[in-house]
Amino acid sequence: MSSAKFIQSKTALITLISASLVVIISLGIRQTFGLFYFDFSTDLDISITQFGFAIGLQLFLWGLFGPLFGIITDKYGGNFAIFLGFLFYLAGVFLFYLGFNTGFYFTLTIGILIGVGLGSTAISIPVAIVAKHFPISNRTIATGIVTSAGSFGYFVSPLIVRYSLIETSWETTLLYFVFFLTLGLVVALFITTPKIPVGSTAQENKETASEAIKKAFSSKSYIYLTLGFFVCGWHIALVATHIPTYVNDRGLPEWCAAAILALIGVFNMIGTLTSGYLSTKYSKKIILSAIYFLRGVSIIYFIFLPPSVFNAMVFGVTFGFLWLATVPPTNGIVAHIFGTKYIGLLYGFVFLSHQAGSFLGAYLGGVFYHFYGSFDYAWYISIALSIFAGLIHLPIKERAIERQQPA
């Protein structure tokens, strides 16, 4: 990290804290949906294919609306974009609680409304806003803090939700969600988006959004990064959505799934902070390549060794360390190559690819299970994708694009 002062203004500190709280709430709730499947299956007659499709659609819309909320952020401010996202998120959860939760309504609430809400409240927009407050020397550390805050939500929420589902009901648990999402509306108001990003150049500030998009999609490095992030989405959605069913089928205790998700949350905090720090010292593309290769190793260990609580916990620790460790270096490469003026928009397109992978990971995992009675093919694809992602990051050129000097 640079020897320069890390927090350079009170506004930056308030935004960093507020953005961290936003992702704790948003990602914390999002991480637990897989734990509801058995209750939804019993009480609402929801099949695993229907569940997987709704979750997959949710994840895809999360990514699809990311660039739109990026535009809203750049034009009207991040506080407005995140507040609007929480309204959609809250509407989805509350309508589901009120009884709009079967047939098409299941897809509307869990899939569409919550998916749109995640578009601004989850990782991409809060991280992009925070990135604008910090110079390149400290940027990946700052974005790593926000990402690790989401990891704290990952850790706490599965434990609380499992306890609530056992001791109360899924309806009561959703009311807790309503409370925290309402709190998110308030927190969003404290987020500030700087008009001129810290460390930006005069040439960068004169650039239009359409010019930035054109330059990004004409860059092979941007395309490689986007394809790699697709793999990240597949991995995360498959695990978060279907791990409860998978460990149950393997004969492990019911609490094991919540423990895995909690361990993912704990070690994700460590992993994201570590990758954020390493990204200030070493090549970001090499860090990303290593993360994806190691994910493949973690999956191989988990599915090919005999099922046991110990092996499941090892998977939670190792995969958790690698869970969102991809975010700081991915965001850092986008910001380094293209600048931070349109980071919300450009990172939003990269994240859309991530969520396309998430949709397929969640949905096809359910499809494979429906037709073959296991998730084996989904895991095999995950291993192949790990190798693909590990290789495709290597040709990325980590240097800023050339811009014409102003006349």
Whole-number Å distance between alpha carbons of 132 and 196: 8
Pick from 196, 134, 133, 136: nearest CA to 341? 196
Any domain includes 407: no
**Number of folded domains in the chain?**
1
Give me the pLDDT at residue 1, please: 45
* Domain range for 40: 11-198+210-392
Give me the pLDDT at residue 2, please: 45
Give me the pLDDT at residue 303, please: 94
- Distance (Å) of CA 219 to CA 104, 197, 215, 306: 40, 23, 6, 45
Number of Cβ within 10 Å of residue 293's Cβ equals: 16
Task: Please report which residue ranges of 207-342 form alpha helices under DSSP H.
Answer: 209-217, 220-249, 255-278, 284-304, 309-322, 327-338
Q: The whole model's pTM is what? A: 0.78
Any domain includes 139: yes
Any domain includes 67: yes
Give the mean model confidence (pLDDT) for residues 381-385.
97
Give the mean model confidence (pLDDT) for residues 295-308.
96
Instruction: Give the angle subtended at the CA of 134 by the CAs of 129 and 140, to the nearest 5°.
Output: 85
- Distance (Å) of CA 260 to CA 31, 263, 311: 12, 5, 10
Any domain includes 405: no
How many residues in total does the chain contain?
407
Any domain includes 304: yes
Any domain includes 226: yes
Any domain includes 45: yes
Report residue 56 as tokens.
């997959």
For every residue of 344-386, DSSP letters joined together read HHHHHHHHHHHHHHHHHHHHHHHHHHHHHSSSHHHHHHHHHHH
Task: Please report which residue ranges of 168-219 form alpha helices under DSSP H.
Answer: 170-188, 202-206, 209-217
Q: Which CATH number is 150's domain given? A: 1.20.1250.20
Give me the pLDDT at residue 388, please: 97
Report residue 395 as tokens.
């040709």
Averaged confidence pLDDT in the chain:
89
Give me the pLDDT at residue 108, please: 97
Give the mean model confidence (pLDDT) for residues 298-320.
95
- Distance (Å) of CA 277 to CA 30, 95, 144, 271, 325: 26, 41, 8, 10, 11
For the CA atoms of the chain, what is the radius of gyration? 20
Tell me which amino acid residue 52 is.
G
